[in-house]
Amino acid sequence: MSGGSIVFPYGSWRKGQRELAEEVRRSVSEGELLLASAPTGFGKTAAVIYGLLSAEAERVLYLVRTVNEIDPVVRELKRFGARFTFLFSARRMCPLMTSEGSLPSVEDFWGNCRIARAKGVCSYYEELSSLDEAEVAQYVRSRPVISAYRLAWDIAKFKGACPFFALKGLVEDSQFIVATYPYLFKEDIFRSFLEPYDYGDFVAVVDEAHSLLNIHSLHEYRVSQRDLDLALKEVKEYASSARDFMAWLESVLEKVSRLKVSRITLLDKQPFLEGLDDLSVVEDVVETIRTRKAEEALSLSGPSGIGRVKTISSRIYSWLSVLVRDDSYLFAEKDESGMLWLIATPLDPSRVVKEPLEKVKAAVLLSGTMPSTKLYMEVLGVSRSFKFVDVNLMYGARGFGRFFTIVAADVTTAYRSRGDSMYRLIASRIAMADRLLPGLKLAVYPSYEVMYRVVERLPADVETIVETRGISLDEVEAKILARDPGEKIIINAVAGGKLVEGVEFVDYEGRNLLSTVIVVGVPFPQPDDYTRKHLEVMASRIGVSNARKLVYLVNPMIKVRQALGRGIRGPEDRALYILMDYRYLRRDLKEVLGMPYHRVVKGAEDFEEAVKAARSRVFGG
């Protein structure tokens, strides 16, 4: 598709769209990095695609945070008639291993998938050999998009083929590959599934690019004391000759038993690596165990049994793979049940993004909440020429939707004020909002602890969904869709958690169901070893002042903006935002948050009157 033959698929351009498209064209043509700030609903996806097509970009890797965010990109690509495919978690689209409703771990999925393919017991994979790629391309690019999930599952249902490898097979023919972050920012995934291409073969587009400030968390891996114990039993049963690995597991379990942990605690990782000279030995042990378990499952249950094979030792291997990195750190933490976890994680985002963003042909980083450009580029550590464009400031671009913001200035989750009376006060305000306002509501908290303390004080007649560490996103979405019209539910979630980032609160027609977002407190980081080490690591590279601004100001306000952004997803959406903490009146927080406050209230009567006024103004009733 040449630049002269591109047709913008809408009747007219919105203010700023044509200018953004031209900035994308120029940056891609010149091999630059473009930072673009654009409001939600402005239409940046269509503008960016037009610019990429105008630049005749040969191959584009268009990256989004979650699978749900693939859908709007695919819809726009269809309107342009572009050649595309999309990739997300293979295990979430596998018809063989999810046939009984359970979802294997990442490690179990790929290990079992490899065995199933090698033994020829996956009929969906076998069907690929007789599948016409042109037919798959036509199927994917011509069908109406309800969701990437649905389209992937339809390949299995109607073509009888493996959706993941069918979609992967279209990479060579595609100008656009729409994928989730790991396909660029996890090198092993990039190398495994986008071969034979290298970074330099792609123009990269990163949506919600403010998330790159915390991209190191993509590499975080945790194992529990129970995982270690089960792994030891597993090795004894299935790989009894692996004495060195057994001795290492026993040594780690002994160290863990002596740990005294009240909150997240930094550990010296070297003692936990003693006795492990070669990680490939552990990998071999894991494969031995998996092969033996797979043979048992196949003999008992046939091909369907392969999905039930669980190899706990593979979790230990994945954790070790992170722990041995020279930029990783080890922390210990106890969850709400008292289970102890060992967490291996890097802490510097530059170690994740620097190489790919410096090696791609060009990059376009998009965000509606782009922080200070200077700080942003320092944090990412990317040294290539770049340009920053704020389409709102420079071209008068505007987003869609209508919102009203209330600040409740008589409550706070500041540590010195926490206690039964404050939690009861917050709960009473949330209950009042639920009583006065229609529809689905999202209440977002700074931590699990605060969330549980508030939720347990809500009246019994308030219907809730409460996030837990192991909550199923599918389960939450199913409960939301199963509710009666008009039924009120408060979804209680943690800022930056999976319910804020991973669930689309929409009906079967794609309409937003969320009408109210309540942010309880300010999601400042906990004063623990993790925060202190993160500050230390970042300060060593970008300076103490910038590190403190990143950790204590920019990152918390990005979490707030992400939560509020769930309320308005389309041009017809209306939302009420309630910020429940007097600290939102601080000048520095308000400046970074960058949104107007319509009412500041104190006291129950003032709050009730403001909510009623907002209801009338926003919802018309």
DSSP 28-73: HHHT-EEEEE--TTS-HHHHHHHHHHHTT-S-EEEEESSGGGHHHH
Residues of the chain with CATH 3.40.50.300: 3-102+122-217+349-395, 402-619
Residue type, 137: A
More confident call, 523 vs 304: 523
Q: What is the pLDDT of residues 425-462, one digit of tens each?
A: 999 999 999 999 988 999 999 999 999 999 999 999 99
Would you say residue 395 has pLDDT above 80? no
Return the minimum-mean-pLDDT range out of 290-294, 356-360, 507-511, 557-561: 507-511
| pLDDT for res 99 | 59
Phi, psi at 501, each rounded to 5°? -100, -25
| pLDDT for res 621 | 61
Would you say residue 89 has pLDDT above 70? yes
Task: Find where tokens 């309409």 sit.
Answer: 511
More confident call, 333 vs 39: 333
Instruction: Please give the distance of CA 317 from its chain centroid, rounded to a whole number.
Output: 23
With cut-offs at 50, 70 and 90, classify the pLDDT of residue 500: confident
With cut-offs at 50, 70 and 90, classify the pLDDT of residue 618: confident
Would you say residue 510 has pLDDT above 80? no
Q: Which of 592, 585, 583 is nearest to 415 (CA)?
A: 583
Task: Find where tokens 């595609």 sit.
Answer: 174
Residues of the chain with CATH 1.10.275.40: 221-346
Residue type, 144: P
Is residue 230 left, alpha or beta, with left meaning phi > 0 and alpha meaning psi from -120 to 50? alpha
Strand partners, 388: 35
Q: Summarize the confidence of residues 344-353 as an average pLDDT.
A: 97
Q: Summarize the confidence of residues 285-296 as an average pLDDT.
A: 93
Phi, psi at 59, each rounded to 5°? -150, 120
Q: Summarize the confidence of residues 496-516 as an average pLDDT.
A: 77
More confident call, 39 vs 474: 39
Query: Please, what is the Cα angle at 478 between 491 and 509, to 5 degrees?
Result: 100
CB atoms within 10 A of CB 296: 13
List the strands of the sheet with 362-367, edge to edge: 84-87, 176-180, 60-64, 203-206, 362-367, 33-37, 386-390
Q: What is the pLDDT of residues 249-270, one digit of tens each?
A: 999 999 999 999 988 999 999 9
Report the alpha-carbon distance of residue 465 to residue 492 in Å, rounded: 6
Return the minimum-mean-pLDDT range out of 188-192, 310-314, 320-324, 498-502: 498-502
Return the minimum-mean-pLDDT range out of 209-223, 326-340, 469-483, 527-541: 469-483
- What would the two tokens of residue 261 be? 């942990």
Cβ atoms of 535 and 347 within 8 Å: the answer is: no
More confident call, 610 vs 146: 610
CATH class (in words) of the domain with range 221-346: mainly alpha
Report the alpha-carbon distance of residue 300 to residue 392 in Å, rounded: 62
Q: What is the pLDDT of residues 177-231, one digit of tens each?
A: 999 999 999 999 999 999 899 999 999 999 999 999 999 999 999 999 999 999 9
Report the alpha-carbon distance of residue 540 to residue 549 in Å, rounded: 14
Would you say residue 423 has pLDDT above 80? yes
| pLDDT for res 85 | 96
Report the alpha-carbon distance of residue 350 to residue 377 in Å, rounded: 9
| pLDDT for res 511 | 75
Report the alpha-carbon distance of residue 51 to residue 75 in Å, rounded: 17
Q: Helix, strand, or coil here: 574?
A: strand
Q: Summarize the confidence of residues 575-603 as an average pLDDT.
A: 94
Phi, psi at 579, each rounded to 5°? -100, 110
Computed over every residue of the chain, the mean pLDDT equals 91
Q: Summarize the confidence of residues 297-308 as an average pLDDT.
A: 82
- Domain spanning 3-102+122-217+349-395: which superfamily? P-loop containing nucleotide triphosphate hydrolases (3.40.50.300)
Instruction: Kindly provide the b/e burial profile for residues 379-413, where b requires at least 16 CB atoms within 10 angstroms of the residue's own CB.
Output: bbbbeeebebbbbbeebebeebbebbbbbbbbbbb
Q: At what angle do helices 148-159 and 70-80 cross, to 10 degrees?
A: 70
Would you say residue 4 has pLDDT above 90? no
- What would the two tokens of residue 522 be? 């300010």
DSSP state of 618: I
With cut-offs at 50, 70 and 90, classify the pLDDT of residue 402: confident
Tell me the C-alpha to C-alpha distance, in Å, between residue 539 and each of 527, 533, 573: 16, 10, 41
Q: Summarize the confidence of residues 525-533 as an average pLDDT.
A: 95
Would you say residue 571 has pLDDT above 70? no
More confident call, 309 vs 610: 610
Percent of the chain exceeding pLDDT 70 equals 95
Query: Please, what is the Cα angle at 554 between 551 and 555, to 5 degrees?
Result: 60
| pLDDT for res 512 | 78
Cβ atoms of 75 and 140 within 8 Å: the answer is: no
Q: Summarize the confidence of residues 380-387 as an average pLDDT.
A: 93
Would you say residue 317 has pLDDT above 80? yes
| Cis omega (within 30 of 0) for bond into 196 | yes
| pLDDT for res 398 | 60
Q: Would you say how long the chain is, in residues?
A: 621
- What would the two tokens of residue 557 be? 């306000």
Q: Which of 113, 104, 186, 610 is nearest to 404 (CA)?
A: 610
Phi, psi at 159, each rounded to 5°? -105, -15
Q: Summarize the confidence of residues 266-281 as an average pLDDT.
A: 93
- What would the two tokens of residue 182 be? 């790991």
Topology at the third CATH level for domain 402-619? Rossmann fold (3.40.50)
Would you say residue 106 has pLDDT above 80? yes
Cβ atoms of 304 and 123 within 8 Å: the answer is: no
Percent of the chain exceeding pLDDT 90 equals 68
Cβ atoms of 465 and 416 within 8 Å: the answer is: no
Name 486's Cβ contacts closer than 8 Å, sequence gap at least 6: 438, 439
Residue type, 94: C
Q: Summarize the confidence of residues 308-321 as an average pLDDT.
A: 94
Instruction: Please give the distance of CA 112 from its chain centroid, rounded to a whole number.
Output: 25
Cβ atoms of 183 and 87 within 8 Å: the answer is: yes
Report the alpha-carbon distance of residue 538 to residue 550 in Å, rounded: 9
With cut-offs at 50, 70 and 90, classify the pLDDT of residue 502: low
